[in-house]
Structure 1
Amino acid sequence: MTYTPPAPAIVDDIVSKTKFDANGLISAIAQDTKGVILMLAWMNADALRETLLTGRVCYWSRSRQSLWRKGETSGQQQHLIEARLDCDMDAVLMIVDQTGVACHTGRRSCFYHGVTPDGLRDTAQPEISTKELYGH
């Protein structure tokens, strides 16, 4: 499956209809083609526009206050297959082709803290070390 981007005017129309919060953000969920939720991050209008136009997933980093192109430093990129906005137009689900792992801890998914009667239990181990991911 490959993503075919809409024309820029159509993307602009979609972005204008999206309901960003008071900080100009929407939640963005990345899911792989098997239905595994990989991560939740944030997008502003520029990140959503870039993602829809290029097919390469881009987020807004709240800590750095800048655009964050997934895999820019680690190589663990996300390529868009399909994007869906929810019924309220205030969240986006992206079905992606994930290169390697999605989590900065080296795990495939960021959702690995399982809740058990005894407390939290890690449900997955890192597939790659952070040193290998980021070179430090």
Structure 2
Amino acid sequence: MFGGGSYMIGMTDRDTTLRFDPRFDDAGLVTAVVTTRAGGLLMVAHMNAEAIAATQASGEATFWSRSRGRLWKKGETSGNVLRMVEMRVDCDQDALWLVVDAAGAACHTGATSCFYRRVEGDALVPIA
């Protein structure tokens, strides 16, 4: 399996533990990928320890806004909140996956998903 066990090279306790221990980057952030229950990709954002705690406490997705320099609860002005169904962490705990129920558009442009354009060469083509 995976080259006779060589896949375990570089594995740490964080990779196999059952304790939630996010590995934050130098800015104190982890990447958060947000999808619907059906697997539709909605957005990618960043979370710090405070945003994770707020999300877990309220059940509504809260992120760290790098542009605003503060916590940002998705939908705080639009009402388009993201109700967390499940939070998952990747193997080395440096990325999160939030499965949510969305109450409206996820993108600030009004699009359902922030990924509403396809790249074709140097052009962007809207996805219907």
Same fold (TM over 0.5): yes
- TM-score range with shorter-chain normalisation? 0.7 to 0.9
Q: Distance in 2 between matches of 1:118 and 1:56?
A: 36
For 1:64, the equivalent position in structure 2 comes to: 68
Structure richer in helix, relative to its length: 1
Q: Deviation string for 1:52-97 (max 9, x for gaps)?
A: 1221110001011100001000000000000100011000000000
Q: What letter matches 2:49 in structure 1?
A: A
Superposition pairs of residues 1-136 of structure 1, within 5 angstroms: 14=20, 17-116=21-120, 119-124=123-128
Query: Which runs of 5 or more residues in structure 1 are unaligned?
Result: 1-12, 125-136
Query: Structure 2: which 5+ runs fail to align?
Result: 1-18
Q: Provide TM-score, normalisation by structure 2.
A: 0.81
Q: CA RMSD in A?
A: 1.3
Amino acid at match of 2:48: N
Q: Which has the larger radius of gyration?
A: 2
**SS of residue matched to 1:24:** coil
SS of 1:47's partner is helix
- Residues matched between the structures, number: 110
Of all paired residues, the percent bearing the same amino acid is: 46
TM-score computed with the length of structure 1 as normaliser: 0.77
